């Protein structure tokens, strides 16, 4: 599972994804099979990393036309739809571009999700605005719950196992 934080921490709320990624690394470091990756402002070099995982969780600032700090979680086709209809990234390469590369190469992650927080402003500064900062723990718990759901789906507890047939040599 890949957790990909996106953003520029020098532009206040533009860095939401990176701040949330650091929160996840600090408070939820023990998820098995999870790679935390700072995607910065994105580049084509991330395509291979995305394609090599069956699960992708993206953390980013989003435009929801809602109050700053509002959370969203889009999974699978809902994420695809949001990316196709949302405002394009200001970065040279957008998340939609990376997802299209994975789709065209036949390596789109089977499970994918975007957890976003409505930003307040992109301006010079290394701290998040108050409304965004206050919802970072809730967004982190939402992300952790999604990772846990994926983990349980991959390794169901209490799943009956069939014992191998034993043969007695004579």
pLDDT digit string (tens) for 21-66?
Answer: 999 999 988 777 899 999 887 778 888 889 999 999 999 999 999 9
User: What integer pLDDT is reported at residue 90 of this predicted model?
Assistant: 46
CATH of the domain at 91: 3.40.50.1450
Strand partners, 131: none
User: What integer pLDDT is reported at residue 159 of this predicted model?
Assistant: 67
User: Residue 77, Cα to own-chain centre: how many angstroms?
Assistant: 14
Domain presence at residue 43 = yes
pLDDT (tens digit per residue) in 126-167: 999 999 999 999 999 999 999 999 988 887 777 665 656 666
Number of folded domains in the chain? 1
Domain presence at residue 6 = yes
User: What integer pLDDT is reported at residue 40 of this predicted model?
Assistant: 85
Of 114, 108, 8, nearest to 50 by C-alpha is 108
User: What integer pLDDT is reported at residue 168 of this predicted model?
Assistant: 66
Domain presence at residue 162 = no
Q: What's this model's pTM, rounded to 2 decimal places? A: 0.86
The answer to whether 61 and 72 are in contact (CB under 8 A) is: no
The domain in which residue 70 lies consists of 2-154
């Amino acid at each position: 599972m890949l957790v990909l934080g996106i953003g520029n921490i020098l532009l206040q709320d533009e860095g939401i994804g990176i701040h949330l990624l650091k929160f996840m690394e600090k408070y939820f470091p023990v998820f098995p099979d999870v790679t935390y990756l700072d995607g910065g402002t994105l580049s084509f070099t991330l395509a291979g990393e995305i394609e090599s995982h069956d699960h992708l969780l993206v953390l980013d600032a989003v435009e929801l036309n809602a109050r700053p700090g509002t959370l969203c979680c889009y999974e699978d086709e809902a994420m695809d739809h949001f990316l196709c209809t949302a405002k394009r990234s200001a970065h040279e390469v957008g998340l939609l571009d990376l997802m299209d590369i994975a789709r065209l190469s036949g390596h789109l992650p089977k499970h994918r999700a975007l957890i976003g927080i409505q930003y307040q402003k992109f301006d010079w500064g290394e701290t998040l605005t108050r409304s965004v900062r206050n919802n970072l723990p809730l967004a982190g718990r939402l992300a952790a719950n999604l990772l846990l759901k994926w983990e349980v789906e991959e390794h169901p507890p209490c799943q009956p196992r069939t014992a191998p047939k034993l043969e007695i040599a004579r």
